C-alpha cells in the first residue's frame, strides 16, 4: 500500500510570474514542468526511455483508441501538457488517457489551447534517472489530489511495470510485473499486454 498524507485545503496561491515566464521560454529540447510553483527542466528521454515509450504507445493505440482488436473507448495522448489544480501545476506525463465519453473531442477547434485541463483517467510515467524522484513523489501526489484513477510506472532498465489504483485518495499498488510474459494491466486489462513487446528493441 502506497499512502499519502490527508489532502490539505487547496491553496489560492498562484505561480510566480517569473516562473511562468521561464516555463514559456524553456528550450524546445527540454521538457518543462511546474510542480508546486517550481520550474523543472528535464532533458529529452534517453534511448531506453524513448524505446519503451514508442513501444507502449503502439501497443495501446490500436485496441483502445481505434478499437482494432480491442474495445476502443479511450483517447490516448502522448506527452500531453496538463494544467491541473488552482496554481496550476503544469505536468508532462509520457502518456495519458481519457475515457472517450469524458473527452469526446480531443482535438478541439482552431482556438483550442495546447494544454488539457481535464484530469486524465490514466497516466503513465516512464521512469528515468532525471525524473524518477518527481514521478514517484510530487507528481504522484498531484495525480492523487486531482483524482486520476489509474497510474502506471514503467522502468525500462529494470523492465518492470507497477500498476496503481486510486482508492480513498490514496494510491494502492495493485500489481507489479517484471519479465517478458503476458499480463493484464488495468485499466487496459481487456486484452493481454505482452511485456516482451514493451521491452523489445
Report the percent of the chain where pLDDT is more than 90: 83
Model pLDDT, residue 89: 97
Angle at alpha carbon of residue 155, lines to 151 and 160, rounded to 5°: 85
pLDDT at 140 over 60: yes
What's the pLDDT at 12?
67
C-alpha cell at 138: 510530487
56 sits in the region (left: phi over 0; alpha: psi -120 to 50; else beta) called alpha
Instruction: Summarize the confidence of residues 40-52 as an average pLDDT.
Output: 90
Has residue 4 got a pLDDT over 70?
A: no
Look at residues 144, 137, 197 and name the one whose alpha carbon lies nearest to residue 6.
144
* Domain boundaries 17-199, corresponding CATH code: 3.90.1570.10
**Rounded alpha-carbon distances, angstroms, from residue 57 to 77, 91, 100, 131:** 9, 19, 17, 20
Segment 143-188, tens digit of pLDDT: 999 999 999 999 999 999 999 999 999 999 999 999 999 999 999 9
At residue 197 the predicted structure's pLDDT band, cuts being 50, 70 and 90, is very high
Q: Please tell me the predicted confidence (pLDDT) of residue 3.
A: 47
Cα 198–chain centre separation: 17
Considering only residues 9 and 70, tell me which one the structure prediction assigns the higher pLDDT: 70
Strands 38-43 and 170-178: unpaired
Three-state DSSP at 147 gives coil
**pLDDT reported for residue 35:** 95
pTM of the predicted structure, to 2 decimals:
0.90
Backbone angles phi, psi at 61, to 5 degrees: -65, -50
Cell of 44: 529529452
Out of 5-19, 39-53, 164-178, least confident range: 5-19
Strand partners, 34: 39, 90
Amino acid at each position: 500500500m502506497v499512502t499519502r498524507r490527508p489532502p490539505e485545503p487547496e491553496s489560492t496561491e498562484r505561480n510566480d510570474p517569473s516562473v511562468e515566464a521561464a516555463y514559456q521560454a524553456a528550450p524546445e529540447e527540454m521538457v518543462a514542468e511546474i510542480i508546486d510553483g517550481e520550474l523543472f527542466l528535464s532533458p529529452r528521454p534517453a534511448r531506453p526511455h524513448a524505446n519503451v515509450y514508442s513501444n507502449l504507445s503502439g501497443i495501446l493505440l490500436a485496441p483502445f483508441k481505434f478499437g482494432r482488436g480491442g474495445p476502443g473507448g479511450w483517447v490516448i495522448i502522448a506527452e500531453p501538457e496538463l494544467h491541473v489544480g488552482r496554481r496550476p501545476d503544469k505536468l508532462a506525463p509520457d502518456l495519458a488517457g481519457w475515457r472517450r465519453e469524458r473527452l469526446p473531442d480531443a482535438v478541439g477547434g482552431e482556438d483550442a489551447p495546447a494544454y488539457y485541463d481535464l484530469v486524465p483517467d490514466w497516466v503513465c510515467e516512464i521512469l528515468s534517472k532525471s525524473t524518477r524522484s518527481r514521478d514517484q513523489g510530487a507528481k504522484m501526489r498531484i495525480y492523487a489530489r486531482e483524482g486520476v484513477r489509474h497510474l502506471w510506472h514503467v522502468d525500462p532498465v529494470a523492465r518492470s511495470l507497477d500498476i496503481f489504483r486510486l482508492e480513498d485518495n490514496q494510491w494502492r499498488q495493485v500489481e507489479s510485473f517484471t519479465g517478458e510474459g503476458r499480463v493484464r494491466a488495468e485499466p487496459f486489462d481487456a486484452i493481454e499486454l505482452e511485456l516482451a513487446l514493451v521491452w523489445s528493441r
